[in-house]
Amino acid sequence: MFVDQVKIDVQAGHGGNGMVAFRREKYVPNGGPAGGDGGRGGNIIFKVDSGMSTLMDFRYHRKFKAKNGGNGANKSMTGRSAEDTIVPVPEGTTVTDTETGRVIGDLVKPDQELVVAKGGRGGRGNIHFASPTNPAPEIAENGEPGQAVSLSLELKVLADVGLVGFPSAGKSTLLSVITSAKPKIAGYHFTTLVPNLGMVRLDDGRDFAVADLPGLVAGASKGVGLGFQFLRHVERTRVILHLVDMSGVEGRDPYADYQAINQELTQYDPDILKRPQIIVATKMDLPDSQANLTKFKDELAAHKSDDQIVHDVLPISSVTHSGLQELVRKTADLLAEAQPEETVVPQDHPKTYEFDGTHEPDFKITFDKEIESWVISGDKIEKLFKMTDTAHDQSMLRFARQMRGMGIDDALRKAGAKDGDTVTILDYSFTYVE
């Protein structure tokens, strides 16, 4: 089954917890802090697998979770860092953050990698918190939470040349005679239900990939017919072969069909028609094709505007193989002149827990009447709390100082909090004291 769009959830590993420990050796009096750091959590990494041609594997596996880092140990031993989770994806996969709609990366090269969710760093052990005023601190950090992200994956077939046209225009037949591909061919509409790929090799050593895309119909860009599902695959092609049926056996007007397909492509992406294009007049072995071709060329000339790009019209017959060599050669020539497609440079996922002044504030305070409690929320404060070791009083006092430094105490007071009120962060509640 061909699948080219999926939504998945990924969870990077949490960092390991730091440890509170002290040296307890026989001949070392007054041993100092010796709690080790936690290990780094595993990243979620997408890696291009050239052997994949569909996103089918994600149809039944939609959640990916990396391992957490190991906890720190005594004697200042650092916990084990978790291995990254590698997720194979096919070439041509575009990764988008479902929440923000931002494109994270475009994976188009073999073995290309993209970090889509970063693992959390390990928490620091108490050896990092020793000071002249507190030489034996009972303070350690829990590991940083790993990033959790919802992603949309979209596969766009990687092909140099795209075949577009109405159903039964002869796209599959052309692909079968100029490549070794074996698409399903029949005398009814919508025979092609998925994109088919084939390689064309010329005698002079040049070669290129051709994609036979499911037939478009009027209204495809608005969701009519099958073409809407596959218009995205046209985006990556550098040359378009626009196939127009010249036989007229179904009473269709070739020029009207040509205009209708161009209209759908323009509505989907106005830049598509700026790419090199060859108009391929198909089925020239049938009786009325030559007359229809002459009429088609006349209408092209009559409706041409001053700023319109003039495309070559090449008559072919996939049955008799006439005109195929010239078509293949001219297509290769256009590819040599066409600019390579610009792709999105892969980058690490932009979402972070830190406040950068462009999104929401560091924290938000609301009053929940159901639980009769003030609720503090926000990425930054929630992260700090998750990294606080609540089992040790000194760690909780450190968290209280962090809250005060962020201005949460003042904000609670301004919001109307009084002595004895309950304050909740995530699943932890405490009493507010002036």
pLDDT in tens, 298-344: 988 887 765 566 788 999 998 898 999 999 999 998 888 876 555 44
Residue 53 pLDDT level (bands cut at 50, 70, 90):
confident
Look at residue 364 and tell me whether its pLDDT is greater than 70. yes
Residue % of the chain over a pLDDT of 70:
84
Evaluate whether 165 touches 242 at the Cβ level (below 8 Å).
yes
Residue 358 pLDDT level (bands cut at 50, 70, 90):
very low
| Both tokens assigned to 131 | 């000071």
Tell me the domain boundaries of the chain.
Answer: 5-155, 161-337, 364-432
User: How much is the mean pLDDT over the chain?
Assistant: 82
Look at residue 96 and tell me whether its pLDDT is greater than 70. yes
Which residues carry a binding-site annotation for Mg(2+)?
Answer: 172, 192
Q: Rounded to an integer, what distance in angstroms lies between the CA atom of residue 322 and that of residue 285?
A: 9
Residues 214, 218, 222: CA angle, nearest 5 degrees: 85
What pLDDT is attached to residue 215? Answer: 56
* Ordered DSSP codes for 119-149: PPPPPP-GGGS-BTTBSS----BPPPPPPEE
Residue 272 pLDDT level (bands cut at 50, 70, 90):
confident
Evaluate whether 46 touches 99 at the Cβ level (below 8 Å).
no
CATH architecture of 364-432: 2-Layer Sandwich (3.30)
| Both tokens assigned to 406 | 């962020």
Q: For strand 44-48 and strand 113-117, is the pairing parallel, antiparallel, or unpaired?
A: antiparallel
**Amino acid code (one letter) for 320:** T
H-run or E-run covering 86: strand 85-89
**3-state SS, one letter per residue, for 236-296:** CCCEEEEEEECCCCCCCCHHHHHHHHHHHHHHHCCCHHHCCEEEEEECCCCCCHHHHHHHH
Which residues carry a binding-site annotation for GTP?
Answer: 165-172, 190-194, 212-215, 282-285, 317-319
Evaluate whether 194 touches 175 at the Cβ level (below 8 Å).
no
Select the CATH number that applies to the domain covering 5-155 from these four: 3.40.190.10, 3.40.109.10, 2.70.210.12, 3.60.70.12.
2.70.210.12
CATH architecture of 161-337: 3-Layer(aba) Sandwich (3.40)
Which residues carry a binding-site annotation?
Answer: 165-172, 190-194, 212-215, 282-285, 317-319
Q: What is the mean pLDDT of residues 243-250?
A: 84
